[in-house]
Amino acid sequence: MEHALDPTRFVLMHTSHGGNVGAAARAMKVMGFGDLVLVAPRFEDVLSREETVAFASGAADVLARARIVPTLAQALDGITLACATAMTPRDFGPPTAAPREVLPELVQQGHRVAFVFGSERYGMANEDVYRCHRVLSVPTNPAYGSLNLAQAVQIMAYEWRQALGSFAVTPAAPEPQWADGQAVQGALAHWREALEHIGYLDPAAPKKLLPRLNQLANRLQLTREEVHILRGIARSVLTR
């Protein structure tokens, strides 16, 4: 079975727009998921349409592995727990909860989970919701809770990834190399020379300027590179 290590499936029902399918595939891939099933989409060739591939933006592999089936029952084959996504609670059916309230519990239970999304036009039919074990609703502004299909997929994929174990954040820059005390004091001594050179500091009456500069340097927690910059400025001042 494909994605044997991935306990997750995303099911999109009766989709109307290829762009939403592509964007949903992209949302899945960035969270590390790849099992996508479409139930009776409006267009049979939706997975290969130009707009679908364009909105997938690099997630073409998810589209290539995606399947189209005629019924929700077939889409849930092999799934042990299905989560409907709905904004409006049903009078009858599974309990409704926010994703963050229930997803960590589902991880502990070891299910193969499917997240089921209704069509862009009318959401999920009651009979499809009743097939599911849970109903998940994203807490939104009560005055305006409309989510695009791909946005809903992204939120669910993110919340499920957090429950499974999130990816580490890669720092944008290497860890800073902090300047040690000797380097900082050397820079301050250099600045004292520069300030005396331009007449800003009177060596006979320095007052508290140098201690204050020392405290400023401590608060800034200078790096080695920053100390080099400060000494370069002082050196430039002394040559004028």
Residue 197: inside a domain, yes or no? yes
Looking up tokens 């900082």 gives 184
Q: What pLDDT does 23 receive? A: 96
Among 1-10, 131-140, 200-209, 214-223, the least confident range:
1-10
CATH for 213:
1.10.8
In the predicted structure, residue 124 carries a pLDDT above the cut 70: yes
Sign of CA dihedral 101, 103, 107, 111: positive
What confidence category does residue 4 fall into, taking pLDDT thresholds of 50, 70 and 90?
very low
Both 23 and 136 in one domain: the answer is yes
Both 133 and 188 in one domain: the answer is no
Among 99-103, 147-151, 152-156, 172-176, the least confident range:
172-176
Residue 169: inside a domain, yes or no? no
Looking up tokens 């059916």 gives 93
Residue 171: inside a domain, yes or no? no
What pTM does this model have?
0.74
In the predicted structure, residue 97 carries a pLDDT above the cut 60: yes
Per the structure, the complete domain to which residue 68 belongs is given by: 8-164
Asked if 12 and 115 count as a contact pair (C-beta separation under 8 A), the reply is no
Sign of CA dihedral 4, 105, 94, 12: negative
Residue 1: inside a domain, yes or no? no
Both 116 and 212 in one domain: the answer is no
Q: 133, 164, 195: which is the final residue of a domain? A: 164
In whole numbers, what is the pLDDT of the chain averaged over residues? 89
pLDDT more than 70, % of the chain: 95
Tokens describing residue 76? 């849930």
